[in-house]
Amino acid sequence: HMFIVLTTALDSKILAPALTNSLTPIREMTLEEREKLLASWRDSPLSPKRRLFRLVSSLTLVTFVRLASELHLKATHYPGRDLREKAYDTQEIDPFRYEFLDKPQIDGAELHLPDIDVLIIGSGAGAGVVAHTLANEGYKSLVLEKGTYFSPSELNFNDKDGTAELYQGGGTLATLNQQLFILAGSTFGGGTTVNWSACLKTPFKVRKEWYDDYGIEFVANESYDKAQDYVWKQMGASAEGITHSLANEVVIEGGKKLGYKSKAADQNSGGHPHHPCGFCHLG
């Protein structure tokens, strides 16, 4: 809706000058003039103009990613979809598939599930740990998930179809004021299905806030560090054997030239060397 309002205003000789500081309609501007206009929005002291820049730039990037031609994909060394049958040579694909009950065909139908001790909302990594812990203690839990379930054999999407199937709002979720765009997964398995493989330990400033503001003493002592190390070991997360993509290599090299320090993030690769993330953002 906001994009339609924006394009209508930019096409109006009365309204456009307030946004462009020019009497020339944007469709008649040269490429250089349009670039300067976008830069002025980006650097404007007025927050509405900065929001306009974020809106236009994000829509442009999303459109490019979803509709990029084969030529553009080849130029960025991006195959479009995962070409591997296995993430690593010794991987064994789990053939297990969940079975689902059909939805009731009549209004007002109720599903009776006896002997449920705990209700867990969401099926992500946190839910998995909770359900596993409860099961070990002899409790029965029910996990509720609004997202769609796809078996491993079905998870071979391209970006266009993958974002539509696996993400909230088709990957275009934003705050009401367009200040923040959120890529939020919405699928069975949560962050264990949709992720970027990167593992980040809780930053010191966050732990300090938890301790100072909420009195959580556990995060301020060595036992919390040991707990994180245990999780890392169980997942096989490390920075060893990482094969960076072309995009990552460009960022790293650019950072070096600008004098920025960079560090490879540990990846949840199960301890398997040369196990690139690939298309883990699409399952």
Question: Among residues 156, 162, 130, which one has the least CA distance to residue 144?
Answer: 130
The length of the chain in residues reads 283
pTM: 0.67
- What is the token pair recorded at 84? 């591997």
Residue 89 CA to residue 163 CA, distance in Å, equals 28
**Residue 188 neighbours by CB under 8 Å, 6+ apart:** 98, 123, 145, 147, 148, 149, 150
**Parallel, antiparallel or unpaired: strands 237-238 and 198-199:** unpaired
Residue 47 CA to residue 30 CA, distance in Å, equals 25
| Angle formed at CA 161 by CA 58 and CA 266, multiple of 5 degrees | 70
Each residue's pLDDT expressed in tens, for the chain with a length of 283 residues:
667 777 888 888 888 888 888 888 888 889 999 899 999 988 888 888 888 888 888 788 777 777 777 788 778 777 777 777 777 777 777 788 887 777 778 888 887 777 899 999 999 888 888 898 899 999 999 999 989 999 888 888 888 888 889 998 887 777 776 667 788 889 998 888 888 888 889 999 999 999 999 999 999 999 999 989 988 887 788 888 787 888 888 999 999 999 999 888 898 877 776 666 778 888 7
- What is the token pair recorded at 249? 């290599």
